[in-house]
Structure 1
């Protein structure tokens, strides 16, 4: 489990096809604190560390990304020089600063607006009809691994959902969200509580 509070930005240095995709990520952590077999959320995708190295402040770790994961995540995410939002798995007793996040991508959304408003950035995301019932005003959603609050929701005629988010300057600086522009794709994870409520509602009906 994760919280959607990004602790570092990593950069993919290599992506090699070894059946699965072996992706190596450079990061500013201490390799002594990275365990083989540990889970790390990489822009919202929970992946398992299979190798590590480097030194404090200049570490690296490697993960295997399956073809299924590549097909279900944001376009062009798994290539060299791509920056990723990183979060290690939640430990018992850690502060829950965002909301409960599983690291499983539910859908890919498209950025349809990225507008500077008073120093903050207004993002508007268009997502498919399958997750529309789970997106609610003032509810939580995870965008590329970042826990955010939905400000506005608009249902589109075709069943898709368009929702707005406010990215404050600090969040834009310490995550990759400040780099987003119109046409980019992002990983979306709906609030786990919304998922259970939808299931309960379907059984009650």
Structure 2
């Protein structure tokens, strides 16, 4: 996955609370195992309404989504993270997330930023007025052109993964030398394991 250091640009002022994964990507889209093309079905029920924020040309290509409390609740479908990423969103800012969605987001290269509701309200104003927002993972800050500066916490391991663009496979490959050394040592000490010979 692509590493994240800083995400800057327009933010989609969504703000809805308790948005579950079925709203993010309806079940009928779960027949695929491909990560591509799911952006078309993202927030489908909301986008069915004329004038919705997701189809507003003003936010086309926006890399940041501002959401409400308990974002990504419901089922554990990883397709929800895939759909958001396919929309071009690299950071979501909300007061809270479901644990499973938050984990899926990080594993797919999306930064879930947690900030209090009063900050969300301020960022919604900035986004609706058409101004850009900057999410800086390295310094753990969210800033606006109006000198707003909000700090956020993130698990150090998750930060390491996002900065390095490391998914679970990449993390395993980081230890490839140690794995090879272990396997060589085991093969020498227990040759019967490698050959399948019974003792």
TM-score of the aligned structures, taking structure 1 as reference length: 0.30
TM-score of the aligned structures, taking structure 2 as reference length: 0.30
Higher helix share: 2
